[in-house]
Amino acid sequence: MSKAGLDGVASSTSALDLRAASRDLWPGGTLDAWQGRAAPQPGRVFWPETDDEVLAVLRAATASGRPVVPYGAGSGVCGGARGMADAWVLDTKRFDRIGEVDPETWTVEVGAGVNGQHLEDALAAAGWTCGHSPSSIGCSTVGGWAAARGAGQFSSRYGVFEDMVVGLDLVTPGEGALHLGVPGPSSPPRQGLPEWLPQVLGSEGTLGVITRVRLRVRPLPATRWLRGYRFPDVHTALDAMRGLMQGELWPSVVRLYDPLDTWIGGKTRPKKAHGHEAWWKGWLKQVDALPEVRRRLLVLPLSVPGLLQRVAEGLADGVLVIVGWEGPPEVVEAAVAAGRPLLEVDGVDLGPEPGERWHASRHAVSYKLMPVFERGGFADTMEIAGRWTALPRAYEAVRRAVGPHALVMAHMSHVYPEGGCIYFSFAGRGDRAVYDAVWTAALDAVLASGCTVTHHHGVGELKARWASREVGPAVRGWRALSAVLDPRGVLNPGRVLRTGEPPAPLPDDELAPADGLAWVDPARPSADVEPRWPWARLPGLPRWQRSAWQTTWVEVRGEVDGVGCALGRGPRSAAGPDLRGWLATHAPKVRATVGVPGAGPRWMGAARVEQPWRVAQQLLRADLRPGSLGVVDGVLHVGFRGPAAEAFGALASSLVPGGLEAVPWRLVPLAAGVLEPCAVDDPAVVHVTSERAFRVPGSARASG
């Protein structure tokens, strides 16, 4: 390591450092490395410590036309952070400061290079959590979570990572250092445009280098309830999961394991009842003692994946669903009381043990793939997302497409009122041609089924072709911003989005009641549609100014240069930057889907109280999630939907001075546009979250 170059920025050209920076955890790269195919070697690795040092590296690279690959911990599984030949790798790990939690705004500023587990440990020591718990938490960074639009295992309650970001700092070759969203104590003074933040989140280092992130945090949950249920099949289990989410019960965990994944884990019966599990584990131990046998162990069975799949699925005994709630005891109790009857219509209660077992080992999957490579095979994972009625279609389509090449199993997690994520696992013979065939067949099937090609692993090299097809002609929006922030195109070139790929066919635009969605014209919302969240106009509020569970539009469709495109094919798509806002602004005619509530129970209460917006914020901080919350003519209105509506209403009433009087249900309009923060007692307040109060820009505080 030396301090000689680029105004003292720490850097290295040692063979060990270059080799370490040449790869991330893309299993395709692991297969190459295991079989002796070297990754392209970068020319130098830099470890900047300040925004100025990052900018110095970027400007020198721009002057010489040299590619720059931003790098966090290298835990990405899509090739988005692996070094390029002769490129400069810009490692952010020296941005390692964790700030103090602001108890007034419930936020914290964190360096982009902070390890995820270190962050959660530091927050927990002070009584907080950000709620983001990916399986890679011990080997990934906060900046990587933002750059790849990650999602943690509790996203059904806390949202995906971009829902937690209220602001970030970015260094770019074209515009220098900027802050986006809410600034922090270390932020550059210059502010970027509000519409840039959705595109930077998910850009995977192609628009700038993230140096700091400001995050929402919440108090550590006081209680946690976890349980396992056995369902007869995938489709029945999906219906129960949908009921929980569209019933606005907001579980923290909802995970469905398909028959093969259930069988391999031995999860629907006590462990002693699974003689097959003990048999195959004992067999592995015996043959592993023979090096050559170990190396070839999986070649034979994985050469006939279809037969292996049929045999294994024939031994399965239903499917497993893990469900959990966490938070204040009274909120958890009300949600569980309403959720258990939905689960027990078709599910068999297996008790707390399956859920607690999952929770204790929930991060272990990130460290279990290498033995498959050692034994002559490969293993990989793919996560997609779609609306509820598209999920069964995509599940079967991917299984059919991959079946001739590899063993495939799946679990379904990260669910929302509008749909959810399927997380496929593949295992095949350790042949690069087989590996490539699996991914081509799988991603082609995903696009054909109308789903998004990635939900939380990012795009990188692996999915760039298909993400570009999914985005279609809206790639123009990303190119336009790239021309401003990175005019010479030195940042991670060729990854995430590419030009020239043929657009994917538009998904079916028919919506079933089960989807919980409706089409609207963003410019003229229809009076016939009752939106789940009644924004005064679309797109509503920017992500950092609304509560994590509140959505605006889900899918946006329009034409660019006469070619149709559909963005947001699945909830919380991570197929590159979020270009829905750009499409809605630039397409001549746009349609969008918004969430709509079901016809279940509703409860609303009202009260005239002092500082009603402060009381509204206190309800949110008590971890209640009203379906309607606002102040009309000085009167606080609080409403809940779903099977726990009355119970949640009683909890809210107990927290409001003088209680809430039951009134007829009404949707209180929500503010729209970009607001400005203000004090919660400001008479001009129009909206609150757990973190802040907001008013319309330029609103004057009343005197006195």
Tell me whether residue 31 is in a domain. yes
CA neighbor of 267 nearest in space, from 313, 323, 229, 235: 229
505 within a domain of the structure (yes/no): no
Same domain, residue pair 201 and 337? no
What is the CATH classification number for the domain harbouring 188?
A: 3.30.465.10
554 domain-assigned = no
The arithmetic mean of pLDDT across residues 651-661, rounded, is: 97
Asked if residue 343 lies in contact with residue 240, where contact means CB atoms within 8 angstroms, the answer is yes
Q: Which of 448, 475, 505 is the last residue before a domain boundary?
A: 448
Question: Given a cut of 50, is residue 4 above it in pLDDT?
Answer: no
Where is average pLDDT lowest: 54-68, 304-318, 587-601, 603-617? 304-318
Rounded Cα distance, 470 and 556, in Å: 12
Residues 316 and 336 in one domain: yes
Q: How confident is the model at residue 362 (pLDDT cuts 50, 70, 90)?
A: confident
Asked if the model's pLDDT at residue 579 lies above 60, the reply is: yes
Q: Is 143 left (phi over 0), alpha (psi -120 to 50) or beta?
A: alpha
User: What share of the chain in percent tops pLDDT 90?
Assistant: 84
Residue 369, pLDDT score? 73
State the Cα–Cα distance between residues 562 and 564, nearest whole angstrom. 7
* Lowest mean pLDDT across 1-15, 162-176, 644-658: 1-15
| Integer CA distances (angstroms), 202 to 210, 217, 456, 458, in order | 11, 21, 9, 7
- E strand residue ranges, 27-118: 44-47, 68-71, 88-91, 107-111
CA dist., res. 93 & res. 209, Å (int): 12
Regarding whether 404 and 339 lie in a shared domain, the answer is yes
Q: Is the pLDDT of residue 196 over 80?
A: yes
The CATH code of the domain that includes 322 is: 3.40.462.40
CATH classification at residue 81: 3.30.43.10
For residue 566, is it within any domain?
no
Please state the domain count of the chain. Answer: 4
For residues 20-43, average pLDDT: 93
Q: What is the pLDDT of residue 276?
A: 40
Distances in Å between the alpha carbon of 368 and those of 373, 531, 615? 10, 43, 48
Tell me the per-residue pLDDT of 470-511, one tens digit each, with 9 for 90 and over: 999 999 999 999 999 999 999 999 999 999 999 999 999 999
Whether residue 228 sits in one domain with residue 215: no
Residues 420 and 352 in one domain: yes
Confidence (pLDDT) at 314: 66
Average pLDDT rounded to a whole number, residues 435-446: 97
Mean pLDDT of 411-439: 94
Q: Specify the range with the lowest mean pLDDT, choosing from 4-8, 151-155, 568-572.
A: 4-8
- pLDDT of 293 > 70? The answer is no
Residue with tokens 């043959």: 287
pLDDT at 690: 97
Instruction: Assess whether 330 and 425 both reside in one domain.
Output: yes
- Residue 270 covered by a domain: yes
Q: CA-based angle 481:483:485, to the nearest 5? A: 65
pLDDT at 277 over 70: no
Q: Are residues 284 and 147 in the same domain?
A: no
238 and 205 in a single domain? The answer is: no
Mean pLDDT of 119-147: 96
> In sequence order, what DSSP letters do the residues of 317-386 get, joined into one string?
-SEEEEEEEEESHHHHHHHHHHHHHHHTTTPEEEESHHHHHHHHTTTGGGGSSHHHHHTTEEEEEEEEEE
Mean pLDDT of the chain: 91
296 occurs within a structural domain: yes
Measured in degrees and rounded to the nearest 5, phi and psi for residue 336 equal -65, -40
In a domain, 548, yes or no: no
pLDDT at position 543 over 80: yes
Residue 102 within a domain:
no
**Which of 396, 417, 448 finishes a domain?**
448
Q: What is the pLDDT of residue 364?
A: 75
Q: 599-628 burial string, b = 16+ CB within 10 Å, else e?
A: eebbbbbbbebebbbbbbbbbbbbbbbbbb
Between CA 181 and CA 213 the distance in angstroms is 10
Do 490 and 68 meet the contact criterion of CB atoms below 8 Å apart?
yes
Instruction: For residue 297, give both structure tokens.
Output: 């162990």
SS3 551: coil
Using a pLDDT cut of 70, give the percent of the chain over it. Answer: 91
Give 306-333 pLDDT, tens digit per residue: 666 666 666 667 899 999 999 999 999 9
Residue 131 shares a structural domain with residue 178: yes
The answer, yes or no, to whether residue 2 has pLDDT greater than 90, is no
Identify whether residues 239 and 361 lie together within a single domain. yes
Predicted structure pTM score: 0.92
The range of the structural domain enclosing residue 681 comes to 602-695
- Last residue of one domain, picked from the residues 36, 63, 91: 91
Name the region of 159 (left: φ>0; alpha: ψ -120 to 50; beta: rest): left
Same domain, 610 and 688: yes
Residues 294 and 361 in one domain: yes
Q: Which two tokens stand for residue 116?
A: 């995820």
